[in-house]
C-alpha cells in the first residue's frame, strides 16, 4: 500500500510533511476529521526508524483522536503531529518551527504535549502559534487526568468481572512507567492492587515502583505472559497482536496506551480467548477532556473531572454491550464514535 493509499484508507482530510533544516524539524501533521469541530491532538516526538513508520503512527493516532474526542462528547475533531527526532535532540527552535507548521492549518488543528513533549515545549510553540491547548497557565499537564480516567476505567472492568470495583488484592501488570503509567501505578497501589512492572530505561521510575510501591519487576518481553487479573499497557500501541495474544494470562486489558489492538483480527482473537478489553480511546480520554476544553469554552476543572469520571460508565457500557452481542469491545467503541462523528454528539 502506497502512502497515498494508506491516507485514503484511514479517511484523512489532510496530511502534511514539514522540513525545517535550520530548526532541526522533521515532522508530519495528520488532520483526520473536523466534522464535530476543530481537531485537537498532541505533538509526539519519537526517533522513528523511517518516515513510513512515522506516517503509519500519525495516521493511526490522529484517527484515534477523532474517535476519542467524539466518544468523550467533545465538539472536536481529531488530528496528531509527530516530530521525527530523539528526545536528546529537542530544541526551542524545533518547537517554534512546529508552531509555525500548526499555523498552516489556519485554526483547524490545535496541538498539545504528548509522548516526549511537555508543557515547556508547548510554551515554545506558543511563541509562534496560538493553536495550543494544555497550556501550563490554563489546564496544565493533561497526564494526571489521563491517569484518573484509566484508573476509573480499570475499576469499571473490576466491577464487571467481580461485581465489585474494589482493586484490593488484584494483580495488575503495568507496561510503561512514564508520567501516566507511574501516576496510574501509584493510584493502583493506594487502592490495594499488587503490581507487576517491566524494566525500561528509566531506572529511577523502576526503583520507585519496586521499592515504594512493592512492584515485581519482570523482563520487557515477559510482561505479556505474567499471571495477572488485568494487563495495563501504558507505553506505545499495537501491543495486542498475533504474537502477544497467545501469551496473555490476564482476564482483561485496560491501560493508557493508544491503538493497543493491532488490527480487527487481533480484536477478534482477543474476544475468542475470553479476555475483556476496555477500548483504549475510551479509557484514556481524560487528558484530552482536560486540555481540549481550552479549544471551545472557558476551562472549568470541576466540569472536566465530572466528564473524566464518566469514563467509568462508558467503559462498563462497552463491556455490557460486548457481552450481550458477542461483538469485540473495540468494534463497539469505534462504531459508537463514528456514529457521533457522522450524525452529531447526540447520536448515541
Cell readout for 23 is 530548526
Q: Which of 202, 236, 223 is nearest to 53 (CA)?
A: 236
Cα(197)–Cα(215) distance, integer angstroms: 6
CA angle 254, 237, 77 (to 5 degrees): 90
Cα(115)–Cα(299) distance, integer angstroms: 23
Cα(90)–Cα(88) distance, integer angstroms: 6
108 is a catalytic site residue = no
Cell readout for 270 is 482477543
Half-sphere exposure of 289 (CA within 13 A, CB side): 28
Q: Contact at 8 Å (CB) between 342 and 34?
A: no
E strand or H helix at 68, and its extent?
helix 51-71
Q: Contact at 8 Å (CB) between 302 and 27?
A: no
Among the options 26, 68, 80, 271, which is catalytic? 80
Annotated catalytic residues are 80
Amino acid at each position: 500500500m502506497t502512502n497515498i493509499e494508506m491516507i485514503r484508507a484511514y479517511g484523512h482530510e489532510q496530511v502534511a510533511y514539514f522540513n525545517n533544516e535550520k530548526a532541526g524539524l522533521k515532522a508530519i501533521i495528520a488532520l483526520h476529521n473536523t466534522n464535530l469541530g476543530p481537531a485537537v491532538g498532541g505533538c509526539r516526538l519519537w526517533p522513528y526508524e523511517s518516515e513510513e513508520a512515522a506516517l503509519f503512527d500519525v495516521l493511526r493516532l490522529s484517527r484515534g483522536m477523532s474517535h476519542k474526542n467524539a466518544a468523550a462528547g467533545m465538539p472536536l475533531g481529531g488530528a496528531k503531529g509527530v516530530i521525527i527526532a530523539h528526545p536528546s535532540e529537542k530544541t526551542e527552535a524545533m518547537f517554534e518551527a512546529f508552531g509555525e507548521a500548526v499555523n498552516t492549518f489556519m485554526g483547524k488543528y490545535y496541538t498539545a504535549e504528548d509522548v516526549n513533549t511537555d508543557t515547556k515545549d508547548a510554551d515554545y510553540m506558543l511563541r509562534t502559534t496560538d493553536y495550543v491547548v494544555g497550556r501550563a497557565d490554563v489546564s496544565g499537564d493533561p497526564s494526571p487526568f489521563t491517569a484518573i480516567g484509566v484508573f476509573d476505567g480499570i475499576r469499571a472492568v473490576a466491577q464487571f468481572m467481580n461485581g465489585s470495583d474494589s482493586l484490593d488484592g488484584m494483580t495488575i501488570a503495568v507496561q510503561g512507567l512514564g508520567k501516566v503509567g507511574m501516576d496510574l501505578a501509584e493510584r493502583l497501589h493506594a487502592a490495594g492492587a499488587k503490581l507487576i512492572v517491566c524494566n525500561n530505561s528509566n531506572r529511577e521510575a523502576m526503583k520507585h515502583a519496586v521499592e515504594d510501591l512493592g512492584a515485581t519487576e519482570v523482563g520487557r518481553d515477559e510482561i505479556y505472559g505474567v499471571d495477572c487479573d488485568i494487563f495495563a499497557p501504558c507505553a506505545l500501541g499495537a501491543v495486542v497482536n498475533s504474537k502477544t495474544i497467545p501469551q496473555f494470562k490476564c482476564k482483561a486489558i485496560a491501560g493508557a496506551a493508544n491503538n493497543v489492538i493491532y488490527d480487527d483480527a487481533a480484536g477478534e482473537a482477543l474476544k475468542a480467548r475470553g479476555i475483556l478489553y476496555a477500548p483504549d480511546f475510551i479509557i484514556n480520554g481524560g487528558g484530552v477532556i482536560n486540555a481540549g476544553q481550552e479549544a471551545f469554552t472557558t476551562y472549568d476543572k470541576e466540569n472536566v473531572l465530572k466528564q473524566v469520571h464518566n469514563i467509568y460508565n462508558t467503559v462498563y457500557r462497552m463491556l455490557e454491550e460486548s457481552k450481550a452481542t458477542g461483538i469485540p469491545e473495540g468494534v463497539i467503541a469505534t462504531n459508537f464514535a463514528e456514529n457521533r462523528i457522522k450524525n452529531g454528539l447526540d447520536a448515541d
